[in-house]
Amino acid sequence: MDGIGPMLYEGKAKKIFAAGRSDQVVQYFKDDATAFNAEKRGTIVNKGVVNNKVSERLFKLLEERGVLTHFLERLSDREMLTKKVTIVPVEVVVRNVVAGSLAKRLGLQVGDAIEPAIVEFYYKNDALGDPLVNDDHLRLMNVATPAVLRELRELAHRVNTVLKPFFAERKMQLVDFKLEFGVYHNKLILADEISPDTCRLWDMATGESMDKDRFRKDMGKIEEAYQEVLKRVCG
Ligand code: TMP
């Protein structure tokens, strides 16, 4: 791994390494998969390669549409050079269709359209299990100011406006997804990854899940689904 320095951080699905410049890092995408706050663990073969390439394609698309991201360059199958950001500890979830925790929490019908899309904030904290929070909670904890929360919500909607039709053109329904943002030179930019780990994607022809739900719910054909997403997004 030429030009790559020591490991700075290891997360559940990625490792972060120092890069040649102090304001850049290398994201290494692992095949490790976890669910339910890491209670369930496993491997999805070549997931790291898929998530790296899918994220590259989507970050480039978003940059073309004026959304600032941390993406700089894909270095290899599993490595991506990015700007080094300070992550805002908020998971920003956008929902176009009822599924997952929303269906469970509110008893809504899975598959019902959500129009216009909604945005939710989760406090990124493993010890607490990433609780759903509102603006007041985040302000109380000094995690984000009202102005930053307004910007996060606005950026999340903009990302959705770009990604929803992109996936639809490839016969995938973008049900929901999770974004993370970071601060880079005093600017809020999109960070982390956008992949079948962080999106719900339903095949428009069959309604079948093509994302990490196949792992979460032991639905089988997990690797096949990830490869199919790669093919449709990058092929
Ligand atoms: P949820 O319905 O379980 O709240 O998930 C909403 C979206 O966020 C879904 O597309 C999966 C994604 N997600 C993550 O990326 N990481 C997580 O830890 C969780 C719980 C969800």
Atom of ligand 1 nearest to the CA of 37: 18
Asked if residue 198 has its Cβ within 6 Å of ligand 1, the reply is: yes
Query: Would you state the pLDDT for residue 4?
Result: 86
Query: Would you state the pLDDT for residue 3?
Result: 65
Asked if residue 95 has its Cβ within 6 Å of ligand 1, the reply is: no
Q: How far is the CA of 21 from the centre of ligand 1 (A)?
A: 32
Asked if residue 93 has its Cβ within 6 Å of ligand 1, the reply is: yes
Which H or E run includes 225?
A: helix 222-234
Atom of ligand 1 nearest to the CA of 100: 2
Homologous superfamily of 86-220: ATP-grasp fold, B domain (3.30.470.20)
DSSP 125-193: -GGGT--EE-HHHHHHTTS--HHHHHHHHHHHHHHHHHHHHHHHHTTEEEEEEEEEEEEETTEEEEES-
Fold of 7-83: Phosphorylase Kinase; domain 1 (3.30.200)
Query: Would you state the pLDDT for residue 79?
Result: 98
Under 8 Å between Cβ of 205 and 171: yes
Q: How far is the CA of 45 from the centre of ligand 1 (A)?
A: 21
> pTM to 2 decimals?
0.97
pLDDT tens for the chain, 235 residues long, are 446 899 999 999 999 999 999 999 999 999 999 999 999 999 999 999 999 999 999 999 999 999 999 999 999 999 999 999 999 999 999 999 999 999 999 999 999 999 999 999 999 999 999 999 999 999 999 999 999 999 999 999 999 999 999 999 999 999 999 999 999 999 999 999 999 999 999 999 999 999 999 999 999 999 999 999 999 999 9
Read off the DSSP letter of residue 76.
Answer: S
Nearest CA to ligand 1 atom 14: 198
Closest CA to 116 of 164, 69, 73: 164
Pocket test for ligand 1, best of 123, 176, 180 (most atoms within 8 A of CB): 176
Segments making up each domain of the chain, as ranges: 7-83, 86-220
Asked if residue 83 has its Cβ within 6 Å of ligand 1, the reply is: no
- For the chain, helix (H) and strand (E) counts, in that order, are 6, 14
Q: How far is the CA of 109 from the centre of ligand 1 (A)?
A: 17
